[in-house]
C-alpha cells in the first residue's frame, strides 16, 4: 500500500462524513438545487477546506495526494459538495502562493472555515476555452483601479462573498496584460445574474457577475500586475487533479450502486448479477474506476514530489472525466428502466458526471496539453 497512515486516516474521516452527512442529502439537494450551507459549516469545522494550506497559515498542510483522496470521498457522497472543496483549494492555493500577508489574513480564515464563499472568475461570454479573449478590464485610478466587465458560469456567483477576478490591465500586452483582483462582492458596482439551472451537480450555484465601475484599492491586486494569466493557470494542475478525483468519486458511487442492485434485482428467477452480460458491465466499471484512481494518485504524487506534473494532471482529468461519463452510463444500464427514473442515484450520477469533461479545461484541451507536452518534451515517461 503506497498510502501513508495519515492519508488513510484523512480518507477514512472524509469517507465517514460523506456516508453519514453528504450521501443521504444528495437526492434532496439535487432535486431542490439547494446550496447546503450547513454541510459547508461542518466541513470547515472538520478541516476539509484548504487542505494544502500550510499550518502556519491556518490550514492542515496536507499534500496533494490527501487532497485527491478527500475529493474522491466527498464526491462519492455528492459531487457538488466536493466541488466546493475544490474551489476553496484553488483560491487558497492562489492566496498561499501569491498573496500578501494582509490578503491571507483577510480572506483565508473565512474561506477555510466555510463562513465566506469564494469564486474563481475567468470565463466570459466571448472567452471560454480561449481565456486570452477576456474583455473585463481594470484601469488605474490614482492608487487603485476601476473594474468593468462581466463573467458567466461562475461557480458560487449567486452566493459568493469574494471573487478572484481575472481582468485585462494592459490591452496591448495579450497574456501578459492580465491581472487578478480579489474583489469583495459587497462593493458598489458588483451585481449578480440569476442562478443557472444545470443538468447536473445542481446544488452548485452557478451564475453571472457584472462589474460596473467597481472601485478597487491597490491592495486588492493579487501578486504581480500583468502575471494574472500565468497565476490562474499555475493553479490548474492541482485543480485538474481535484476534478479527476471528483470524477472517480462519481463513478465509484455508480459502481457501488450497480453491484448492490445487480444482487437484489431478479429476472428469469435469479439475481441479474448471475448473468455474464451484467457481470461484464460491473467488471468494466470497476477496472476503469481503479485505472482512473491510479492516474489521479500518480498525478498528485508528481505534484508533491516537485516533478513536472502537467501532462499527468491532464491525463488524469481527461481519462477520469471520460471514464465517469461512460461508466455511470453503464451503471444506468445495470439498473435498466429504473436507472432512467429520477430518484435513483445512478440517474443523478450520470448527469453529475458530464460536466467533468467540460470544466477546468475541456477534455479536448487536456488532449491538446498532453500532445503539446509529448511533442515538446518527448514521450519518455
Ligand atoms: C457548471 C459550470 C461551472 C463552471 N464554473 C466556472 C467557474 O467557476 N469559473 C470560471 O471561470 N468558469 C467556469 N465555467 C466555465 C467553463 O470553464 C467553460 O465552460 C469551459 O472552459 C469551456 O468554455 P466554453 O463553454 O466557452 O466552450 P468553448 O470554448 O466555446 O468550446 C466549445 C467546444 O469547442 C472545443 N474547443 C474550443 N477550442 C478548441 C481547440 N483549440 N481545439 C479543440 N477543441 C476546441 C471545446 O473543447 C468545446 O468542446 C463553468 C462552466 C459550467 C458549465
Q: What are the pLDDT digits (tens) for 179-204?
A: 999 999 999 999 999 999 999 999 99
Q: Whose CA is nearest to atom 14 of ligand 1?
A: 153
Indicate if ligand 1 lies below 6 Å from the C-beta of 120.
yes
Indicate if ligand 1 lies below 6 Å from the C-beta of 198.
yes
| Alpha carbon of 356 to ligand 1 centroid (Å) | 11
Indicate if ligand 1 lies below 6 Å from the C-beta of 122.
yes
| Alpha carbon of 355 to ligand 1 centroid (Å) | 10
Indicate if ligand 1 lies below 6 Å from the C-beta of 366.
no
What positions carry a catalytic annotation? 360
Q: Whose CA is nearest to atom 27 of ligand 1?
A: 128
pLDDT tens digits for range 235-293: 999 999 999 999 999 999 999 999 999 999 999 999 999 999 999 999 999 999 999 99
| Alpha carbon of 91 to ligand 1 centroid (Å) | 19
Average pLDDT of the segment spanning 160-189: 96
pLDDT tens digits for range 317-350: 999 999 999 999 999 999 999 999 999 999 999 9
Indicate if ligand 1 lies below 6 Å from the C-beta of 362.
yes
Question: Ligand 1 atom closest to Cα of 155?
Answer: 8
Indicate if ligand 1 lies below 6 Å from the C-beta of 128.
yes
Same topology, domains 119-231 and 235-377? Answer is no
Question: Ligand 1 atom closest to Cα of 157?
Answer: 8
Indicate if ligand 1 lies below 6 Å from the C-beta of 309.
no
Q: Is the pLDDT of residue 174 over 90?
A: no
Q: To the nearest whole percent, how much of the chain has pLDDT over 90?
A: 98
Indicate if ligand 1 lies below 6 Å from the C-beta of 123.
yes
Probe target for ligand 1 pocket from 128, 229, 325, with the most ligand atoms within 8 Å of CB: 128
| Alpha carbon of 122 to ligand 1 centroid (Å) | 10
Indicate if ligand 1 lies below 6 Å from the C-beta of 129.
yes
Q: Whose CA is nearest to atom 37 of ligand 1?
A: 129
Domain boundaries, the chain: 5-116, 119-231, 235-377
- pLDDT at residue 371 in the model: 98
Q: Is the pLDDT of residue 381 over 90?
A: no
Q: Is the pLDDT of residue 1 over 70?
A: no
| Alpha carbon of 307 to ligand 1 centroid (Å) | 28
Average pLDDT of the segment spanning 144-170: 98
Probe target for ligand 1 pocket from 205, 359, 360, with the most ligand atoms within 8 Å of CB: 359
| Alpha carbon of 98 to ligand 1 centroid (Å) | 25
Select 235-377's CATH number: 1.20.140.10, 3.40.50.720, 3.20.20.140, 3.40.50.300. Answer: 1.20.140.10
| Alpha carbon of 336 to ligand 1 centroid (Å) | 32
SS (H, E, C) the chain: CCCCHHHHHHHHHHHHHHHHHHHHHHHHHHHHCCCCHHHHHHHHHHCCCCCCCCHHHCCCCCCHHHHHHHHHHHHHHCHHHHHHHHHHHHHHHHHHHHCCHHHHHHHHHHHHHCCCCEEEECCECCECCCHHHCCCEEEEECCEEEEEEEEEEEECCCCCCEEEEEEECCCCCHHHHEEEEEEECCCCCEEEEEECCCCCCCCCCEEEEEEEEEEECHHHEECCCCEHHHHHHHCHHHHHHHHHHHHHHHHHHHHHHHHHHHHHCEECCEEHHHCHHHHHHHHHHHHHHHHHHHHHHHHHHHHHCCCCCHHHHHHHHHHHHHHHHHHHHHHHHHHHHHHHCCCCHHHHHHHHHHHHHCCCCCHHHHHHHHHHHHHHHCCCC
> What pLDDT band is residue 2 in, cutting at 50, 70 and 90?
confident
Question: Ligand 1 atom closest to Cα of 360?
Answer: 17
Query: Mean of the per-residue pLDDT values for the chain?
Result: 97
- Per the CATH hierarchy, to which homologous superfamily does domain 119-231 belong? Butyryl-CoA Dehydrogenase, subunit A, domain 2 (2.40.110.10)
Q: Is the pLDDT of residue 354 over 90?
A: yes
pLDDT tens digits for range 11-67: 999 999 999 999 999 999 999 999 999 999 999 999 999 999 999 999 999 999 999
- Considering the domain delimited by 5-116, tell me its CATH architecture: Orthogonal Bundle (1.10)
Indicate if ligand 1 lies below 6 Å from the C-beta of 153.
yes
Amino acid at each position: 500500500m503506497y498510502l501513508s497512515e495519515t492519508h488513510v486516516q484523512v480518507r477514512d474521516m472524509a469517507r465517514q462524513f460523506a456516508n453519514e452527512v453528504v450521501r443521504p442529502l444528495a437526492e434532496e439537494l439535487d432535486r431542490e438545487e439547494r446550496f447546503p450551507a450547513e454541510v459547508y459549516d461542518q466541513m470547515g469545522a472538520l478541516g476539509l477546506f484548504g487542505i494544502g494550506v500550510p499550518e502556519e497559515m491556518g490550514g492542515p498542510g496536507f499534500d496533494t495526494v490527501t487532497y485527491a483522496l478527500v475529493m474522491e470521498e466527498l464526491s462519492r457522497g455528492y459531487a457538488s459538495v466536493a466541488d466546493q472543496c475544490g474551489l476553496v483549494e484553488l483560491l487558497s492555493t492562489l492566496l498561499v502562493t501569491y498573496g500578501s500577508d494582509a490578503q491571507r489574513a483577510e480572506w483565508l480564515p473565512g474561506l477555510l472555515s466555510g463562513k465566506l464563499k469564494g469564486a474563481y472568475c475567468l470565463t466570459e461570454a466571448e472567452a471560454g476555452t480561449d481565456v486570452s479573449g477576456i474583455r473585463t478590464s481594470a484601469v488605474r485610478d490614482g492608487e487603485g483601479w476601476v473594474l468593468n466587465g462581466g463573467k458567466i458560469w461562475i461557480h458560487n456567483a449567486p452566493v459568493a462573498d469574494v471573487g478572484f477576478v481575472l481582468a485585462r490591465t494592459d490591452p496591448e500586452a495579450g497574456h501578459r496584460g492580465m491581472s487578478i483582483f480579489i474583489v469583495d462582492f459587497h462593493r458598489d458596482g458588483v451585481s449578480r445574474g440569476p442562478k443557472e439551472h444545470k443538468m447536473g451537480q445542481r446544488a452548485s450555484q452557478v451564475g453571472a457577475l457584472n462589474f460596473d465601475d467597481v472601485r478597487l484599492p491597490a491592495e486588492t491586486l493579487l501578486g504581480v500586475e500583468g502575471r494574472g494569466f500565468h497565476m490562474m493557470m499555475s493553479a490548474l494542475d492541482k485543480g485538474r487533479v481535484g476534478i479527476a478525483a471528483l470524477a472517480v468519486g462519481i463513478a465509484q458511487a455508480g459502481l457501488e450502486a450497480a453491484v448492490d442492485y445487480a444482487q437484489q434485482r431478479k429476472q428469469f428467477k435469479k439475481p441479474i448479477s448471475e448473468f455474464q452480460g451484467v457481470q461484464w458491465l460491473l467488471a468494466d466499471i470497476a477496472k476503469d474506476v481503479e485505472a482512473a484512481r491510479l492516474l489521479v494518485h500518480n498525478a498528485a504524487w508528481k505534484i508533491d514530489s516537485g516533478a513536472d506534473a502537467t501532462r499527468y494532471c491532464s491525463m488524469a482529468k481527461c481519462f477520469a472525466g471520460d471514464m465517469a461519463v461512460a461508466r455511470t452510463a453503464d451503471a444506468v444500464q445495470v439498473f435498466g428502466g429504473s436507472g432512467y427514473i429520477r430518484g435513483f442515484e445512478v440517474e443523478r450520477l450520470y448527469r453529475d458526471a458530464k460536466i467533468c469533461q467540460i470544466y477546468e479545461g475541456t477534455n479536448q484541451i487536456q488532449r491538446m496539453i498532453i500532445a503539446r507536452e509529448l511533442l515538446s518534451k518527448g514521450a519518455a515517461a
